[in-house]
């Protein structure tokens, strides 16, 4: 069509209401952007910097206190000690916890702490108005865009939430969150914790908390045996930790500070609660360590191919031997590329992934890297069925709970409401009508999609962006439909993958021409001419009168 | 029109509707509730396209379907049996004189059709809209229109269709047609052949390609548009507030869900294999929302989304039975379909059953207006996709 026009010399029309030609001014650019300054990200940065290209390493810590308060990016459970408000103190503790950051700075890496990546926006055929690849970044006050050529996402992990009565109390938190606060921030406000789950990641974090001076009063495991390595368990038991297998948390008891105790209930192999004495454990913190979840929100939102890979701990990007995802300029490294036992026990695997990704990124930039070729990283065969374990936790702890705990704390949605596709309570809809339409009625005989649950019940639609509920909702849907967890599609992620204040986003610079054409949806005058004044025919050369018209 | 003609499951229906968006589902529901054996099919899940990705506005005062739109919306919860979250009325805020003049159109159009509006001074705007600021130039209170929840409404149509005995086949792609003379006798799909007495094509951006399989030209161009949504804020008395170039609403939950601004024209073939991605345009939407509702500046954006939508060359709907095929109805609402859906579905039902719309004159929505359309109309209007260097 365009070529035809060139030939016929007809002047091309301009649609002033389209995005064409309205690219925002973007002042900053880098060659390799690395998101996440953990072991994988720092190794990637050092390797990339050695190649002589421009490297930018962003890490969202210290996270703004308000954001932490909303359990973003981790389920902090309100257990931030007052020192997190002192940003300088936190920055110092981050540098203490990650000494190699100083090496990266010395190597010329542009290190930006307190900087979150909220979106990656590559030019693509259906979204092509901004040239090249652009990242949306934000510090506590400003949001901005950064051009990059290659990006390595090393965003770490978060924790699966599983609802039980009283899990909304301050003090119920994710294991990664407890670890982050205890180590990186040196600011975990906890003395005595109960650890829920006994996998490698959980036991390792239990030991780290012990090292930080926190007593682990009990380990609660719904399965019949501890699933993590014996050495890690023994050390905890020697410190006085009590072990409760075939148990779940029945409820927490609270005081003004949040959790004051947890009550445990015995369960049988089907997750059914056994009658008998409830164990009461005095504690101020309940650490949820049922499953470590690769943090794929940036990766999924930009459209990398993602699949449930049991050996890698759940949904992760499909990567090749160079850690490259289905988008050739984007690599995943560290926990966000997969979590397995030996990788958790030593940073070396994550570091290697970072180096491999950086070498591949350098090659894509036409820069050869020094050093020996490293063998691709691949996970060991999983020892356990992680999908089944997640179903068992949700079945034993949530479905069999006595009360009706909110799976989605932001939007206050219970398991029964998810399965019944109840309209939210504020609609005051007649309950009998809602009862008639359960989850299975949306696609009879088909696989239910979590996005339908989001849309109809609002579960997962709140300010924590579904971080505490998405895995348990997927598990619940699998239990309800009798399907494998791996068959349940992944609920989509959308930018901004970190909550951003309107005013912060609003300050992004835009082209002067961006102001044109907002007054009308699509700016097609004839679309809005009232039907009693319409012209009879449309030639396509003139979409209506000259008069301006407002849409709708 | 034969109804309940006794075809077994999967063998077809009296009316097969291609497209399980808001227009197709509404048409299917209107047909099914009158006992017509109706089957709606969708290449993906129902409402997965633009039908579930819009501002939820219900105030299309320029349209011949307006009166029926206004009559039906307050009845929809009851008629469908499921909640749509419909809320009456709308306030539109102007931040300068130009916007104020533009927004008078809605009030003029409403008045002509018997609907009341009031002009609001800045103080009145701030009283009615607590999130508005000192930058208000003026506003309008339209005592018509309103807004509903697109997702909830979509599912309500789908369930109500089934409650009336209609069928919905999701993940089923229309591949072609069998014809006899100038009649369609069946629709070939990815799940087999469906015999039919009548076909409705209401397939959004794909309407043109599917109609072309029957030799009917439906000129359409596809585009991508974006919206943002904030965390919930305390609900205002009236959530249907927009202006400053934005469309949208405060949801009953309290989230601010707004869109607007430039669209991006795309090649439909590229949209087949990708989801619609949002872009940094979300920041430009946030900027204008901050201006519209400055007291919400602290609210955090928690999602954005984009959708693919189609437009006809003049941006107006097509609801028509083209002469070339005896038993075919074409429907595209040209990027403005959600709010009009109760009325458009009824108009389609009328066209299918009686050949003519009984409650309003839809003769301005026929395909015949494009007979003198220039072949290169997309280029002439500047409706061209971005030039993308290299591939992904």
Q: Tell me the pLDDT tens digit for each residue of B103-119.
A: 999 999 999 999 999 99
Residue A3, pLDDT above cutoff 70: no
The C-alpha R_g of chain B, in whole angstroms, comes to 21
Q: Do B314 and A543 touch (CB under 8 A)?
A: yes
Residue B2, pLDDT above cutoff 50: no
Q: Are residues B250 and B264 in the same domain?
A: yes
**Backbone dihedral angles phi then psi of residue B253, each to the nearest 5 degrees:** -75, -25
Q: Are residues B137 and B237 in the same domain?
A: yes
Domain boundaries, position B167: 12-54+151-219+314-371
> Which chain B residues are Cβ-neighbours of A506 within 8 angstroms?
283, 286-287, 289-291, 297
Q: What is the mean pLDDT of residues B69-93?
A: 97
Fold equal for A28-156+293-364 and A161-290: yes
Q: Tell me the pLDDT tens digit for each residue of B50-69.
A: 888 889 999 999 999 999 99
**Backbone dihedral angles phi then psi of residue A6, each to the nearest 5 degrees:** -55, -40
List the single residue in B155, B288, B299 with the smallest CB-CB distance to A456: B155
Mean pLDDT of chain A: 92
* Domain assignment present for B80: no
Top-tier CATH class for A161-290: alpha beta
Mean pLDDT of chain B: 94
> Which chain B residues are Cβ-neighbours of A517 within 8 angstroms?
261-262
- Asked if B264 contacts A129 with a C-beta cutoff of 8 angstroms, the reply is yes
Q: Are residues B307 and B158 in the same domain?
A: no
Predicted local confidence at residue A130, as pLDDT: 96
List the single residue in A13, A119, A423 with the smallest CB-CB distance to B381: A13
Ranges of beta strands (E only) in A222-311 are 242-245, 247-255, 258-266, 279-282, 285-288, 292-294, 306-309
A28-156+293-364 fold: FAD/NAD(P)-binding domain (3.50.50)
* Domain assignment present for B110: yes
Residue A371, pLDDT above cutoff 70: no
CA–CA distance, B11 with B24 (Å, rounded to integer) = 20
CA-nearest of A184, A187, A208, A182 to A93 is A184
The nearest CA of chain B is from the CA of A531 a distance in Å of 6
Predicted local confidence at residue B30, as pLDDT: 98
Q: Are residues B299 and B233 in the same domain?
A: yes
- Asked if A340 contacts A382 with a C-beta cutoff of 8 angstroms, the reply is yes
Q: Are residues B229 and B366 in the same domain?
A: no
A–B CB contacts, 8 A cutoff, strictly below: 320
Q: Tell me the pLDDT tens digit for each residue of A433-484.
A: 555 678 888 888 788 889 889 989 999 999 999 999 999 999 999 999 999 9
Q: Are residues B35 and B113 in the same domain?
A: no
* Domain assignment present for B386: no
> Which chain A residues are Cβ-neighbours of B271 within 8 angstroms?
126
Q: Tell me the pLDDT tens digit for each residue of A55-78.
A: 999 999 999 999 999 999 999 999
CATH code: domain of residue B238:
3.30.9.10
Q: Do B270 and A127 touch (CB under 8 A)?
A: no
Q: What is the mean pLDDT of residues A110-132?
A: 97
* Domain assignment present for B64: no
Q: Tell me the pLDDT tens digit for each residue of B15-40.
A: 999 999 999 999 999 999 999 999 99
Collapse the DSSP code of B180 into the 3-class scheme (helix H, G, I; strand E, B; otherwise coil) and give the result.
strand
> Which chain A residues are Cβ-neighbours of B83 within 8 angstroms?
423, 427, 429
The nearest CA of chain A is from the CA of B175 a distance in Å of 21
pTM of the predicted protein model: 0.95
Q: Do A540 and B64 touch (CB under 8 A)?
A: no
CA-nearest of A246, A36, A18 to A154 is A36
Q: Are residues B200 and B93 in the same domain?
A: no
Q: Tell me the pLDDT tens digit for each residue of B85-101.
A: 999 999 999 999 999 99
Q: What is the mean pLDDT of residues A310-339?
A: 98
Q: Are residues B157 and B302 in the same domain?
A: no
Q: Do A552 and B287 touch (CB under 8 A)?
A: no
The nearest CA of chain A is from the CA of B180 a distance in Å of 32
Q: Tell me the pLDDT tens digit for each residue of A282-316.
A: 999 999 999 999 999 999 999 999 999 999 999 99
Q: Are residues B189 and B304 in the same domain?
A: no
Q: Tell me the pLDDT tens digit for each residue of A169-218.
A: 999 999 999 999 999 999 999 999 999 999 999 999 999 999 999 999 99
Q: What is the mean pLDDT of residues A394-414?
A: 94
Say how many C-beta atoms besides its own lie within 10 A of residue B164's C-beta: 18
Q: Are residues B180 and B243 in the same domain?
A: no
Q: Tell me the pLDDT tens digit for each residue of A511-551.
A: 999 998 898 899 998 999 999 998 778 887 665 545 556 66
CATH code: domain of residue B47:
3.50.50.60
Say how many C-beta atoms besides its own lie within 10 A of residue A381's C-beta: 8
Q: Do B377 and A427 touch (CB under 8 A)?
A: no
CB-neighbour burial class of residue A334 (10 A; exposed 0-12, middle 13-18, buried 19+): buried
The confidence band for A6, taking pLDDT boundaries of 50, 70 and 90, is very low
Predicted local confidence at residue A10, as pLDDT: 46
Q: Are residues B92 and B235 in the same domain?
A: yes
* Domain assignment present for B264: yes
Q: Are residues B215 and B228 in the same domain?
A: no
Q: Tell me the pLDDT tens digit for each residue of A336-369.
A: 999 999 999 999 999 999 999 999 999 999 998 6
First to last CA, chain B: 50
Q: Do A528 and B105 touch (CB under 8 A)?
A: yes
Q: What is the mean pLDDT of residues A223-238?
A: 97
Using alpha carbons only, give the angle A109, A112, A117 rounded to the nearest 5 degrees: 115
> Which chain A residues are Cβ-neighbours of B301 within 8 angstroms?
496, 499-502, 505
Collapse the DSSP code of A362 into the 3-class scheme (helix H, G, I; strand E, B; otherwise coil) and give the result.
helix
- Domains of chain A, by residue range, sit at 28-156+293-364, 161-290, 517-552
> Which chain B residues are Cβ-neighbours of A521 within 8 angstroms?
247, 260, 335-336
What are residue B18's DSSP bridge partners?
B41, B201
CA-nearest of B225, B387, B380, B362 to B313 is B380
Q: Tell me the pLDDT tens digit for each residue of B244-290.
A: 999 999 999 999 999 999 999 999 999 988 999 999 999 999 999 99
How many separate domains does chain B show? Answer: 2
Percent of chain B's residues with pLDDT above 70: 96
């Amino acid at each position: 069509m365009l070529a035809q026009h060139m030939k016929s010399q007809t002047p091309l029309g301009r649609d002033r209401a389209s995005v064409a030609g309205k690219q925002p001014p973007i002042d900053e650019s880098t060659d390799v952007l690395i998101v996440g300054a953990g072991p994988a990200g720092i190794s990637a940065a050092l390797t990339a910097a050695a190649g002589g290209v421009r490297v930018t390493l962003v890490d969202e810590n210290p996270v703004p206190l308000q954001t932490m308060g909303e359990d973003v990016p981790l389920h902090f459970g309100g257990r931030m000690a007052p020192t997190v408000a002192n940003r300088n103190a936190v920055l110092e503790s981050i540098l203490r916890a990650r000494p190699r950051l100083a090496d990266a700075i010395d190597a010329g890496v542009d290190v930006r702490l307190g900087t979150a990546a909220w979106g990656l926006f590559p030019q693509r055929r259906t979204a092509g108005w901004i040239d090249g690849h652009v990242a949306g970044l934000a510090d506590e006050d400003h949001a901005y865009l950064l051009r990059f050529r290659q990006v390595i996402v090393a965003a770490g992990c978060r924790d699966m939430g599983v609802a039980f009565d009283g899990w909304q109390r301050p003090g119920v938190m994710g294991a990664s969150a407890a670890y982050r606060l205890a180590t990186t921030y040196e600011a975990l406000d906890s003395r005595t914790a109960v650890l829920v789950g006994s996998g490698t990641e959980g036991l390792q974090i239990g030991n780290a908390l012990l090292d930080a001076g926190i007593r682990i009063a009990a380990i609660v495991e719904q399965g019949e045996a501890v699933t993590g390595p014996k050495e890690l368990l023994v050390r905890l038991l020697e410190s006085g930790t009590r072990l409760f297998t075939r148990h779940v948390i029945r409820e927490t008891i609270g005081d003004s500070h949040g959790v004051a105790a947890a009550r445990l209930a015995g369960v049988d192999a089907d997750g059914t609660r056994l009658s008998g004495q409830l164990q009461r454990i005095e504690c101020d913190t309940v650490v949820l360590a049922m499953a470590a979840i690769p943090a794929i929100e940036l990766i999924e939102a930009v459209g990398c191919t993602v699949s449930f890979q049991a050996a890698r701990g759940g949904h992760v990007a499909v990567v090749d031997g160079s850690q490259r995802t289905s988008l050739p300029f984007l690599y995943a490294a560290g926990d966000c590329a997969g979590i397995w036992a030996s990788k958790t026990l030593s940073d070396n695997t994550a570091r290697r992934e970072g180096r491999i990704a950086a070498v591949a990124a350098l090659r894509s930039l036409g820069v050869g890297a020094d050093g020996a070729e490293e063998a691709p990283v691949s996970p060991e065969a999983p020892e356990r069925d992680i999908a089944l374990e997640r179903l068992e936790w949700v079945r034993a702890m949530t479905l069999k709970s006595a009360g009706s705990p909110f799976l989605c704390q932001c939007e206050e949605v219970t398991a029964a409401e998810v399965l019944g596709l109840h309209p939210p309570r504020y609609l005051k809809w007649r309950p009998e009508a809602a009862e008639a339409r359960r989850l299975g009625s949306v696609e009879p005989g088909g696989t239910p999609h979590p996005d339908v649950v989001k849309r109809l019940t609002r579960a997962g639609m709140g300010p924590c962006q579904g971080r505490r509920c998405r895995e348990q909702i997927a598990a619940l849907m699998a239990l309800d439909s009798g399907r494998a967890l791996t068959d349940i599609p992944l609920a989509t992620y959308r930018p901004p993958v970190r909550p951003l204040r309107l005013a912060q986003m609003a300050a992004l610079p835009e082209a002067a021409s961006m102001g044109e054409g907002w007054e009308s949806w699509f700016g097609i005058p004839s679309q809005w001419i009232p039907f009693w004044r319409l012209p009879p025919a449309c030639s396509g050369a003139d979409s209506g009168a000259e008069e301006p018209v407002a849409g709708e | 029109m034969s109804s309940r003609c006794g075809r077994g499951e999967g063998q077809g229906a009296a009316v097969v509707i291609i497209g399980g968006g808001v227009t197709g589902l509404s048409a299917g529901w209107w047909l099914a509730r009158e006992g017509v054996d109706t089957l709606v099919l969708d290449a993906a899940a129902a409402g997965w396209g633009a039908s579930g990705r819009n501002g939820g506005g219900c105030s299309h005062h320029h349209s011949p379907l307006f009166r029926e739109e206004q009559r039906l919306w307050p009845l929809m919860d009851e008629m469908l049996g499921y909640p749509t979250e419909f809320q009456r009325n709308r306030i539109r805020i102007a931040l300068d004189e130009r916007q104020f003049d533009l927004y008078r159109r809605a009030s003029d159009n409403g008045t002509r059709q018997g609907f009341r509006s009031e002009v609001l001074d800045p103080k009145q705007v701030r009283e009615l809209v607590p999130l508005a600021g000192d930058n208000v130039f003026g506003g309008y209170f339209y005592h018509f229109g309103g807004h509903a929840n697109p997702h909830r409404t979509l599912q309500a149509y789908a369930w109500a269709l089934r409650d009336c005995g209609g069928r919905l086949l999701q993940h089923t792609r229309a591949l072609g047609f069998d014809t006899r003379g100038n009649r369609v006798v069946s629709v070939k799909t990815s799940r087999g052949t469906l015999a039919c007495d009548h076909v409705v094509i209401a397939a959004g951006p794909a309407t043109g390609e599917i109609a072309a399989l029957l030799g009917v030209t439906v000129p359409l161009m596809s585009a991508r548009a974006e919206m943002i949504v904030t965390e919930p804020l305390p609900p205002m008395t009236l959530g249907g507030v927009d202006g400053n170039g934005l469309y949208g609403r405060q949801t009953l939950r309290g989230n601010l869900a707004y869109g607007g601004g430039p669209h991006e024209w795309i090649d439909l073939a590229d949209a087949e294999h990708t989801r619609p991605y949002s872009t940094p345009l979300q920041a430009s939407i946030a900027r204008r929302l901050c201006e519209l509702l400055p007291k919400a500046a602290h609210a955090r954006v928690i999602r954005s989304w984009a959708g693919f939508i189609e437009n006809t060359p003049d941006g107006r709907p097509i609801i028509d039975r083209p002469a070339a095929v005896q038993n075919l109805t074409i429907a595209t609402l040209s990027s403005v379909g959600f709010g009009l859906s109760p009325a458009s579905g009824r108009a389609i039902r009328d066209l299918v059953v009686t050949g003519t719309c009984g409650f309003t004159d839809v003769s301005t929505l026929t395909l015949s207006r494009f007979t003198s359309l220039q072949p290169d109309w997309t280029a002439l209007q500047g409706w061209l996709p971005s030039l993308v260097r290299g591939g992904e």
